[in-house]
Structure 1
Amino acid sequence: MYPEKEGRTRYGMWSNSMFMVKAAWKHCKSVLGYASLEVVLVVAANLLELFTVPVILGSLEVGEPLSVLVMQIVGFVTALMLVKALYSYVACNQQFGRISVRVFLVLAFNEKMARTSYCRLDRQEFWDYAEKVQRITSDNRSATEAVWKTLIELLQNGIGFLIYLALLSSVDPVIILATVLTAVTGYVAGKRINSWGYRHKEEEAGYLHRMYYIAQKSGMREFAKDIRLFGMQGWLLELHEKWYRLYHAFQVKKQKKYLWGNIVDILLAFLRNGIIYAYLLHMTLQQSLSAAEFLLYFTAAGGFTTWITGILNQMTTLHQQSLELSQLREFMEIPEPFYFGGGIPVQPDVDGSYTLELRDVSYRYPGSKTNILEHMNLILHPGEKLAIVGMNGAGKTTLIKILCGFYDPTEGQVLLNGTDIREFDREEYYKLFSAVFQQFSVLPVSVQENVTQEIDGGDRVKAACCLEQAGLKELMASLPQGIDSLMVRDVNEDGVEFSGGQTQRLMLARALYRDAPILVLDEPTAALDPIAESDIYQRYHELSKGKSSIFISHRLASTRFCDRIILLEKGRIAEEGNHDTLLAAGGRYAELFEVQRQYYKEAGETDERE
């Protein structure tokens, strides 16, 4: 599903270059206009600089009058100033368009991450791949933006190479041969040395990632108490210093490698210039070249080397960037196992009478050899309140994820009103559920937007009503901006923060606002005390009348109001009934309930003695 290693990609340099050109044409055509103009201006400036001195020197050699010399100087200087000024304008403005194209790709990547099938998010290789792709779009130096500089310089070098080749071919092939041989030799000799940093970029990124992670966590408010209470400052500084020393050693090693590459370049440049200088000097002394022609061809030979080296270097760079662009494209094209925007629509039921059924369902996590659920059969009837209990690892949360459509079963079927949910548009299927999970999101927006989760704020009156039903009316009245108050102080300086119980009520308000026919609660109150949890569940019980509901809780007493309770053990339904019948049966449920009851009784007696 994912490329096994860099270099084994689906797309080549030409395909990836055209991909970026098409993206620019679609989202910001000015990128292509500025790129073309930049190529022309750079080549023009180079030719003007090449011919300025030789032309003036040639005029002096033939005895042109002073007025002609002045006109030539003024003409060349004026033309060069205009070209340079226009180039500065292009250089200042081309960046905005390139950023716009990269931002479009960033948004496409973010949409892929937000919409990808949930089952992928459990796989570490997916996250590793996504992290690589994120780096490809992260900043101005990343391939999605830097590729424009590479393509422009490649075109500049190509055009310059052809012009200088035509110019030098009029002198003697020896100059061309010497230039090409030394340039190619220097490129081949320096390629491995100068690409050392690219080959070890993952190692460098690892050092930077660890230093950034330590620095980030050290400054987070969530860790402030632990850092101070346990005296972790010195340990964190020592960790950061350790990785900095390794990073510094890496940089020293890299610069030593590059030093040898520079030495090779200097030696070859000295050899090339010596050969060309001696050959041109010989031709000049034999009266076949004027001083102006000598200067022109010697300068052109140096420029010709620059064009050749530039083409070779930019081809190497484009190859590296193409590998990264291919990773981006292949990530965006990872096929989804679920229908999103396809499949058959979920037929709306006026009464909300949806029946969910697990038929002989087994599930095994990718890479695991054992099933977490074994041949399970279960029906959730319309309007039924079902509780799922069991020890850790029994498969409760996995069962919820399968019912909600986050996972497809390894074996068996999940049926909605008799139809396999694989046939439905999964986005429409998700709309049937209001859910509060163990891990929930509080966003740095207003309280109202946290309830409605709509960009335009949603229905203000309905949001206020849901907050009141969830028991937050007094809290809203006490806030300076009421339901418009911003949340998350890490982002908003005046952001409000709720207690655990208040946050649970906020999640209840969010579930009420969604008003879906099936309510799912996956241990959302695990961090609350029994009294607070009882109050939350009582509200859920009162406000979910007429809806199908699924509750997961470790505290068995909170399941009393449910119509049916199933106890999971080793991926199977071990016991089934309501609270009273399960207690009367004296099985595993009754045993667990008695352990919890005794614990709270002893805890209460201890509190009374204190």
Structure 2
Amino acid sequence: MKEKKYTLLQNMKYYFTEVKRYRPIMFLMMAVSILISVAIIIVTTLIPTVLISLLTDGKAIAMPILLLSLGVAILSYNKLMMAQRSFMSGVGVRIVRFSVLIISKFLSMDYEQAEIESIHKAYMRSLENGTGNNSCGTEAMYTQSERLIVNTLSLIVFGALLTQFNPLAFLLTLAVGILNAYLLTFKRQYREKTKPQWSVIDSKRHILKRDAIKHENGKDARIYNVQKVYMERVDSLTESRLSYIRKEASIDMKNRMLSDTAILIRDLFVFIYLINGALSGAISIATFTLFFTMMTSFNVWIQEIVDAFHLLNIASQDINDVRTYLEIPEASNTHPISNAEDITIQFHNVSYRYPNASHDTLANLNFTLNPKESIALVGVNGAGKSTIVKLILGLIKPTTGTITLNGEDITQFERKAYFDLFAPAFQENDLWALTLQQNVSMSKQDSDTSRMHEILVRVGLGDVVDTLPKGILTNMTTNIHLDGTSLSGGQIQKLMLARALYKDAPIMVLDEPTAALDAIAEQNMYEQYQKLAGEKSSIFISHRLSSTRFCDRILFLENGVIVEEGTHSELLKAKGYYADMFAIQSQYYQKEDSIDEESISNLSAHSEA
């Protein structure tokens, strides 16, 4: 995936366009903050000159000091208030606007796209570099723009005044500032050149940090004493990252040495000019004070401008990462689904190969899911069962072949309308940090609580809900809510079943969501689920063949190919793959019988064939 490259001005325009959409009042806040900051700089720079002028003229200074102090105090208070609001607004843009845009993009983009390694890395870079902390681009662009404008305006105001005293001093000061800006480009260019390398290191460190705090890793970390191995890996990545930081520091040190030398030469010239002028009487004490104060302030303003410009360029690099991810094109199919009642899904010579794989996971599949039919996909691990489910759901697209819905290619349908046809429950599942009610209803805006309660009871969660402090309004997980509740693996899987049933879609899909249940509980759950599903089309996946005996049709997969097809009784009579695996599995649940060695031999022979 090619990284986007935009100029600083292009990224500033993009950023402030988003600010305008998010909160346009921020422009007024920035303008007021800038005016107050410049006013404070002008007043504080002129105060010493005004007071010395009053003293040399023999005038009282008590009242002017009081008024000036009061004015500065009022301005400083307002600056503090505006700075706080500006800070919160900058944080808001970063978190509420850009973080939400990035995460929303990830949650809505094609599943197959999200699985691509380069796109996932782009997603991680956009989050970490673009929105990870206060110095990231989507906040720094706001704060550093204000900083640049404030110091530039101050430089212009006093630069015009300085040229009245000594144009050469102004030009020399400006030249030193330009030199500093030029020297900083070396550091920035090195950072941009090496960013592909150190950003990968940062991503790996982030992943290690995430793994360390995962609750499910806690037991292994202690029992297997993983701390030493883990810290060695962390230290290795940290050392690799420090090598780039040290190089940046080395470039920065050399730049500082050259910059400080130029500043020293400039200051020698200015001080010689001031001292000669004061000794000859060409410059008054008040003028001397103003000139000296301005030159001292010039150092600060120019350095602030240079630093702000440097940080804006770094922020622009971060925003490049954000735009690279947000501007990834997505499918925009708008073809409507004409009939969502009697649905027929057909596979026509469908093959699928995962990215970078050496062989197909599925090869030339042909089968049909008829209206109101229940089918089971069974077979050993890696046979391709879950891949078929992903294809049916439209999460991935066939490498070759076509999948049709009522005769039309499913890739042309509008995605949301197509997804609405399915109510899946997956093998990999977890709770969202939402209420139990929201975990069941998900995209539903208005929940039918009585129907939800009925479904929760039917899937075996009625007693659990009764014990929760707020019933279905209880928050799930403690990741966000301190009063949240955790559920066991089996309870979570029952909740996934409840979610699928509550959606009430035309086609139900169960991709081994009951793996945490025992065999008898799984069989009861599947049969109960089938009753609740009524006359809907259903797809069941299970390793336990006894759980899918009730299905209208069973497809047995081996190495991505359908090797047997029929009802439970038909497949047993055929005495093939299915019958042998069923015989082996059924004896695991018998107390006295030993496992049928003949069935194992037959199954092995079938697999080798």
Output the TM-score relative to the length of structure 1: 0.87
Asked if 1:442 is matched to 2:431, the reply is yes
Change (3 A) 1:318 1:592: same
Q: Say which of 310, 323, 338 aligns to 1:347.
A: 338
Using the aligned pairs only, state the percent identity.
30
Structure 1 partner of 2:179: 185
Cα pair 2:140 2:312 within 8 Å, conserved? no
Q: Distance in 1 between matches of 2:560 and 2:210?
A: 40
Asked if 1:272 is matched to 2:249, the reply is no
Structure 2 partner of 1:166: 160
Asked if 1:225 is matched to 2:233, the reply is no
Structure 1 partner of 2:51: 56
Q: Which amino acid aligns with 1:290?
A: S
Structural mapping, 1:167-566, within 5 Å: 167-189=161-183, 191-192=185-186, 217-218=211-212, 220-232=214-226, 258=252, 261-339=255-333, 343-349=334-340, 352-453=341-442, 458-489=447-478, 491-492=480-481, 495-566=484-555
Q: Distance in 1 between matches of 2:456 and 2:291?
A: 82
Q: Which amino acid aligns with 2:323?
A: R
Change (3 A) 1:380 1:213: closer
Q: Distance in 2 between matches of 1:468 and 1:56?
A: 83
Deviates more, 1:38-47 or 1:114-123: 38-47
Q: Say which of 39, 46, 67 aligns to 1:44.
A: 39
Deviates more, 1:138-147 or 1:451-460: 451-460
Q: Which amino acid aligns with 2:85?
A: N
Structure 2 partner of 1:142: 136
Change (3 A) 1:473 1:26: closer
Q: CA deviation at 1:38?
A: 1.9
Q: Say which of 586, 590, 596 aligns to 2:579.
A: 590
Q: CA deviation at 1:397?
A: 1.3
Q: Say which of 12, 22, 32 aligns to 2:7.
A: 12
Structure 2 partner of 1:123: 116
Q: CA deviation at 1:483?
A: 3.6
Q: CA deviation at 1:218?
A: 4.8
Q: Distance in 1 between matches of 2:173 and 2:408?
A: 73
Q: CA deviation at 1:301?
A: 3.1
Q: Distance in 1 between matches of 2:207 and 2:398?
A: 36
Q: CA deviation at 1:273?
A: 0.8
The alignment partner of 1:374 has SS state of strand
Q: Say which of 59, 75, 84 aligns to 1:92.
A: 84
Q: Distance in 2 between matches of 1:544 and 1:363?
A: 30
Q: CA deviation at 1:126?
A: 1.5
Cα pair 2:344 2:368 within 8 Å, conserved? yes
Change (3 A) 1:401 1:179: same
Structure 1 partner of 2:26: 31
Q: Which amino acid aligns with 2:427?
A: Q
Structural mapping, 1:66-77, within 5 Å: 66-67=59-60, 69-70=61-62, 72-77=64-69
Cα pair 2:180 2:306 within 8 Å, conserved? no
Cα pair 2:184 2:310 within 8 Å, conserved? no
Structure 2 partner of 1:101: 93
Q: Distance in 1 between matches of 2:316 and 2:152?
A: 19
Q: CA deviation at 1:39?
A: 1.7
Q: Which amino acid aligns with 1:105?
A: F
Change (3 A) 1:604 1:267: farther
Unpaired stretches in structure 2, ≥5 consecutive residues: 596-609
Q: Distance in 2 between matches of 1:32 and 1:83?
A: 20
Change (3 A) 1:273 1:433: same
Q: Distance in 1 between matches of 2:516 and 2:591?
A: 20
Q: Distance in 2 between matches of 1:154 and 1:404?
A: 51
Change (3 A) 1:171 1:447: closer
Q: Distance in 2 between matches of 1:72 and 1:480?
A: 66
Change (3 A) 1:409 1:205: closer
Q: Distance in 2 between matches of 1:198 and 1:285?
A: 51
Structure 1 partner of 2:106: 113
Aligned residues: CA RMSD: 3.3
The alignment partner of 1:551 has SS state of strand
Deviates more, 1:147-156 or 1:238-247: 238-247
Q: How many residues align?
A: 593
Change (3 A) 1:477 1:31: closer
Q: Distance in 2 between matches of 1:398 and 1:441?
A: 20
Q: CA deviation at 1:150?
A: 1.1
CA-to-aligned-CA distance 1:360-410 (integer Å, 9 cap, x gap): 322232334533223322211101111112333322211111111111223
Output the TM-score relative to the length of structure 2: 0.87
The alignment partner of 2:348 has SS state of strand
The alignment partner of 1:169 has SS state of helix
Change (3 A) 1:250 1:369: closer
Q: Distance in 2 between matches of 1:77 and 1:188?
A: 39
Q: Distance in 2 between matches of 1:433 and 1:330?
A: 32
Q: Distance in 2 between matches of 1:155 and 1:215?
A: 38
Q: CA deviation at 1:482?
A: 4.0
